[in-house]
Amino acid sequence: MRVVSVGEVLIELVRDGDGRYVLGYAGDTFHTAIYLARNGAPVSFVSALGTDRYSDEVLKTAAAEGIGTDLVLRVSDRVPGISLVEANSDNGRSAEIWRDASPARQMFELPGWDRVAEQVVAANLIYFSGVTLSLFSNVGLGRFLAALEFARERGAKIAFDSNWRFASWRGDEQRARAVFSEALKRTDMALPSFEDEARLWGDASPRATVERLTTFGVKEIVVKNGASPALVHADGRSMEVPVPRNVEAVDARAAGDAFNAAYIAARLRKESPEDAALAGHRLAAEVLQHRGAILPHPKRRAGQTH
């Protein structure tokens, strides 16, 4: 069993309460890879980085979490993108991102891309997001979508969270819808957030989202909906899975990414879709109550070394 998570890692600078910035590393599919690994899934990250010290730190972070890094390409004259995160007055966060020169944007065009694509095709489950798709040129998109097709022919499962971000697509909603449509035709498990689907597609309800996604042939769908129940569609039937308990959100970053990881990991363990959604809710609640995208490692929280 091998899971691959495809996407980008950014250098993240978060302004702390005293005005100083805290350095970290972030990215939606990277967050999910970390939580997948913590849930026991054998996961590798697919991306491209520079050869600078920050890229080295990203690889060290991944390795410390048990994430495979053999599918990360390195580019000598480039550095990762940068995300500058500020706190809002309502406990939310806003970010400015500079990623035009990020090597991840060309991961399927760099020397060695074909080797990476071969390993993606050989995976058992491939996870990616709408942010992943926003990175690529038409050439990169074509190669990535072809890899998904070949992987499905081999029996792999494809998991996709649309994670619609206006800025990532430079406001080009028409292109985003066209690219997402092509991705959904190749998707087995969709994990969208209703808020994103309503903004991009105009869906009136989570059920409308399920109905639309099934027209693409997606068999398993989980529509996350904040503190409201998640709508799970699997095995031809739909069910609402309530959040076990409401929590006061300290920081919403990566809550959806964590939900996806817990859900996928539970499904890999052959748990039911309902139980998997409950596992997603539980992990998302933990993340919501923590300042930052990544919880302290369970071993460190228990007072042990990593």
100 catalytic, yes or no? no
Q: Which residues of 44-63 are buried (b: 16+ CB within 10 A; e: fewer)?
A: bbbbbbbebebbebbbebbe
**CA–CA separation, 21 and 206 (whole Å):** 38
d(CA 204, CA 186): 24
Among residues 28, 196, 251, 257, which one is catalytic?
257
Of 47, 67, 200, which is closest to residue 136 (Cα–Cα)? 47
Extended strands (E) in the chain: 3-6, 10-15, 21-26, 43-50, 72-75, 82-87, 93-98, 125-129, 157-161, 189-190, 220-223, 230-234, 237-241
**CA dist., res. 300 & res. 167, Å (int):** 36
**Residue 3 in tokens:** 């899971």
Residues marked active site are found at 257
